[in-house]
Structure 1
Amino acid sequence: MSPVTSHSPPGQSPLRTVQVLGGGNAGSSAHVRSLTAGLVARGVRVTVCAPVEADRAYDFTGTGAEHVHVPRSSDPGAVAALRDACKDADLVHAHGLHASFRAALALSGRRTPLVVTWHDRAHAEGARAHLLRLLERRVVKAATVVLGTSSDLVDRARRTGARDARLAAVALPGPTAAEEPEDPDRPSPKIRAELGATGRPLLMAVGSLDRHRGYGTLLDATRAWRLLDPVPLVVIAGEGPLRTVLQRRIEDEGLPVRLIGRRDDVRALLAAADLALLPSSWESRSVLAQEALHARVPLVATRVGGIPELVGDAAELVPYGDAEALADAVTGLLGDPERRELLTEKGVRQAATWPTEDETVAQVLSVYDELTQHRPLV
């Protein structure tokens, strides 16, 4: 990140913001860490309200921010702790639906501007889906500005009643030392050997083992790949409630798939892969899609949510839930090295159009300035 000077004008106290993060998925947590670092570097005082385990994982205090432990729950104790942390804030910025709901409760009766970033869409069915819609309406009613990480999220916020919804610039944060591939220009033989993919194509999928990730369709598609020689290996990194169900299918049907659990070296795993797979029912600004294009790994993804907007023509896009289309796309790419090379070149060009971390911080600061322009002088 480029060096910067103090953001506050002469005679005015430093802007004080509170960033509110719930449990936080990896993408939103990394975004808050990157945003916090950029804000602190520009002279903004930042307090991050998040569970203590989030600070351990993302080291918000290491950026120069203050960390206040606020648990995930919306019980009165958690809301009271958040309300106390926000009492002197010029502006509060909440990330994700549940964190935003807690922030709205904490700011009830105050005039503190509330910025909300929707990084993703909550997935639920039945009564829980109805509850989530109620939470969304409550949040957009309380928010001064809603930032959506994809156009469809912005449209959703507007349909839900947001008075001001805008497309957010969200950069893919740089890798940590643990995530950096040994050699980004070639697959790692060590990782391929560890995964059991020596001498065969390696297809990589990453994400929680939840229903909306489309892993059932992915397992269906692998039946077609068993006819290839050599047989590709599908590796899925992630944990979730469907692990037992998926593992049973893999074993009962003899599918060429490995579940390897949660990993902290996703970038290195992707760099070792021949293809990246994203079979989800919905995605916003998918971290996996961005990391695959950055790593020059061809991507096969579903044509859903923010994916087409994010990747353009730099990936093979298929309908969600269509195992045959997914199988055909993968088989076609594995048999066409020129097409794979073309996709990697397009991926590099597409990634160059995405916002940088500096641009992300600059956009957020412009929103903050707009909402706090009448702050008193010291």
Structure 2
Amino acid sequence: MRVGVLSTYPPRACGIGTFSRDLREALLGCGDVSAVDLVAIVREDDGAQAAEVLTRVHQDQRGEYAAAARVLDRRGGDVVMIEHEYGIFGGSDGAHVLSLAAELRQPMVLTLHTVLSTPSVGQAETLRALCDLAALVCVFTETARRMILDARLVSPERIRVVPHGGPVELLPQAAAGERLPQLPDRTGGPGPSEVEPDRCVLATFGLISPGKGIETAIAAMPAIIDRHPKALYVIAGQTHPEVAKLHGEEYRISLERMARDLGLSDHVVFDDRFLDIEDLSSMLAATTIYLTPYRSREQIVSGALTFAIVAGCPTVSTPYYYAEDLLSSGAGVLVAFDDPTALAEAVSGLLDDPQRLQRMRARAREVGSGLTWPEVGRQTAEVLREAVTLGPPGT
């Protein structure tokens, strides 16, 4: 089975691009997937593309979408996946992607990375048109499934739930206790630093933007430190490129200033890189509690939270949709949006109760073991095989 994928892709710094790279590797580990060809959505010429990138589509050039469909057809693929999020496609509400979808001769599987409870008229029209062209529609959680059914975007028999995956390299290793885990390089620091055994490490990673709510976690730190003076909050990741393009490093600088003004220089550190898997594994191995203080209820998936659970990290999070689904297992606790007091109390409560924290860690490890990329690749390949059998809608 030869698979085509339309998505952002490295070197573009984008969570969906990272997802597609990891999914490609997982699919190639399935016995009957012979090749995965990428059509990379680019904002600009992002430099050299990987060998698996068949062609590029400039995000705002509508004509390139239809041309890419013809390239995929000439390649002789069996099925095409579209990784959908409104912001990565050009046109009003990302409508340019319809030009590619309408030209496809192969069956198409649509994966929804965003499902809005109250979409605009244009967003709903674009998504409904895409769903009509799909053989099958994939979502990451049962909540997302219910939402698209409630919106009558697609009939229930054409929806499949496949979880987000995480790298096997993040799974907790028995040998990890033989040496102290390391934090990645800190901004302006000399290199990786070992974590002292008595340090309580809180962590957030990913592309940094105002929607991440990091200021809420920083504001919670003084109250956490009052009860746990060794607490350290690590904020790792680059500024989101779209945020940087419009506002530069304004948001990151505001966070650094806030930490400094609160006297937290010894308790809040920043690492301004897009972490590779080795650095990420080291950081999560050192993490006592993972934080996702995101500000939008609408977030239906989070690769960062998935990775943290795969790494076995107990988590304190705001109640966005994906966190509600993933943490209902007992792998974490939820607190109100934009509430530093509630966040501080939840974190301190867990640190005050090592047995409860250990139970939560065990549950995270149990859940995370089923979210590795090989398992998610296997489930995705099953959906793709089904789509090939079904063929395009109307056939």
**Structure 1 residue 33, shift from structure 2 partner:** 2.4
* Contact 1:280/1:302, CA 8 A, preserved across alignment: yes
Say which of 108, 112, 115 aligns to 1:118.
112
* Contact 1:270/1:292, CA 8 A, preserved across alignment: yes
Alpha-carbon spacing, 1:349–1:374, altered in 2? closer, same or farther (3 Å) = closer
TM-score (norm 1): 0.77
Is 2:280 aligned against 1:266? Answer: yes
Cα deviations across residues 139-182 of structure 1 (Å, max 9, x unaligned)? 33333321001222223333162243321244323239xx9989
Q: In structure 2, what residue type is equivalent to 1:272?
A: A
Is 2:339 aligned against 1:322? Answer: yes
**Structure 1 residue 271, shift from structure 2 partner:** 0.5
2:162 aligns with 168
Greater relative CO, 1 or 2 (CA 8 Å, sep 6+) = 2
Q: Which segments of 5 or more consecutive residues in structure 2 lack a partner in the other structure?
A: 185-190, 244-250
1:318-357 mapped onto 2 (5 Å cutoff): 318-352=335-369, 354-357=370-373
2:323 aligns with 307
Say which of 23, 28, 31 aligns to 1:32.
23
Say which of 74, 77, 97 aligns to 1:89.
77
Say which of 263, 285, 288 aligns to 1:254.
263
Alpha-carbon spacing, 1:246–1:117, altered in 2? closer, same or farther (3 Å) = same
**Whole-Å Cα distance in 1 between the matches of residues 331 and 126 of structure 2?**
35
2:377 aligns with 361
Alpha-carbon spacing, 1:344–1:138, altered in 2? closer, same or farther (3 Å) = same
Alpha-carbon spacing, 1:121–1:321, altered in 2? closer, same or farther (3 Å) = farther
Secondary structure of 1:227's aligned partner: helix
* Contact 1:22/1:71, CA 8 A, preserved across alignment: no
Alpha-carbon spacing, 1:280–1:83, altered in 2? closer, same or farther (3 Å) = same
TM-score (norm 2): 0.74
What is the aligned-residue identity percentage? 23
Is 2:191 aligned against 1:191? Answer: no
4+ aligned runs moved over 6 Å, structure 1: 52-57, 179-182
1:115-154 mapped onto 2 (5 Å cutoff): 115-120=109-114, 132-133=123-124, 135-154=126-145
1:194-273 mapped onto 2 (5 Å cutoff): 194=192, 198=196, 200-240=199-239, 241=243, 242-255=251-264, 256-262=267-273, 263-264=275-276, 265-273=279-287
Q: Which segments of 5 or more consecutive residues in structure 1 lack a partner in the other structure?
A: 1-14
2:246 aligns with none
Bigger Cα displacement from structure 2, 322-331 vs 180-189: 180-189
* Contact 2:4/2:79, CA 8 A, preserved across alignment: yes
**Structure 1 residue 113, shift from structure 2 partner:** 1.8
Task: Please give the root-mean-square deviation of Cα atoms over the aligned residues, in Å.
Answer: 3.6
Cα deviations across residues 319-346 of structure 1 (Å, max 9, x unaligned)? 2222211100111122222222121222
**Whole-Å Cα distance in 2 between the matches of residues 96 and 351 of structure 1?**
24
**Structure 1 residue 120, shift from structure 2 partner:** 4.4
Alpha-carbon spacing, 1:223–1:137, altered in 2? closer, same or farther (3 Å) = farther
Bigger Cα displacement from structure 2, 268-277 vs 136-145: 136-145
**Structure 1 residue 110, shift from structure 2 partner:** 4.6
* Contact 1:140/1:157, CA 8 A, preserved across alignment: no
